[in-house]
A and B are shown apart, each in its own frame.
Chain A
């Protein structure tokens, strides 16, 4: 079966750095997405990785290792507004998006 694993919840301090991991087992791979979702709102796109390596976009970076079926989202200089759920999603061989359950990130002052 297809499976995406993320930690359920993480806590970090304002101004610090946090890394949210995602491992996947899917039938084929055509890219990995990270989305941010605030409570009661729809997801918003953060990043897309299809090749191995690190993609940096401001305070957020996303890393991919296809051989390990592994990705992480790195958030730097955490702000209170970063408190949200972070969803990892993988596009399989049929270009179907397979969603992880999301990681709830709690930022403390």
Chain B
């Protein structure tokens, strides 16, 4: 099956610093990548959708200047949390899909747990 990796798997940082999370599709080219955030005991919240070579589409309420997304190639997307604060502490998960259309299974990365002190 399709494999998606994320790095790092966990990170602890000080308030005010920036953190970059990488999402890679290892054995396929991902037309679209998605970034989710999940708080404890809550469901996945889609933050943004990114297509290779174009600007990401952010969901309502997600600050695009705070959560910078770069989808530079068909196998790599990055999420940078700028000037992180304790309320940004969460589980960040990326997913990738092969193509748009009817059946568009998303393959999830293992997630990155961010703790901001």
**CA A102 to CA B42, docked complex, whole Å:** 8
Question: For the complex, is B104 an interface residue (Cβ under 8 Å from A)?
Answer: yes
Judge whether B62 is part of the interface by a CB distance below 8 angstroms. no
Judge whether B61 is part of the interface by a CB distance below 8 angstroms.
Answer: no
Q: What is the size, in residues, of chain A's interface with B at 8 Å between Cβ atoms?
A: 20
Query: Which chain B residue has the least Cβ–Cβ distance from A101?
Result: B43
**CB of A105 closer than 8 Å to a CB of B:** no
Q: How far is the CA of A87 from the CA of B43 in the complex (A)?
A: 8
* Cβ distance A21 to chain B, nearest Cβ, rounded Å: 16
Given known contacts A101-B42, A102-B43, A42 and B104 CB-to-CB distance under 8 angstroms: no
Query: For the complex, is A70 an interface residue (Cβ under 8 Å from B)?
Result: no
The answer to whether B105 and A30 have CB atoms under 8 Å apart is no
Query: Is B11 interfacial (CB-CB < 8 Å)?
Result: no
B44 near A95 with CB under 8 A, answer no
Beyond the given pairs A42-B109, A43-B93, A95-B100, 10 more chain A to chain B contacts, judged by CB atoms under 8 angstroms and listed by A's residue number, are A30-B102, A40-B111, A42-B108, A45-B106, A48-B103, A91-B104, A95-B101, A95-B102, A100-B43, A101-B42
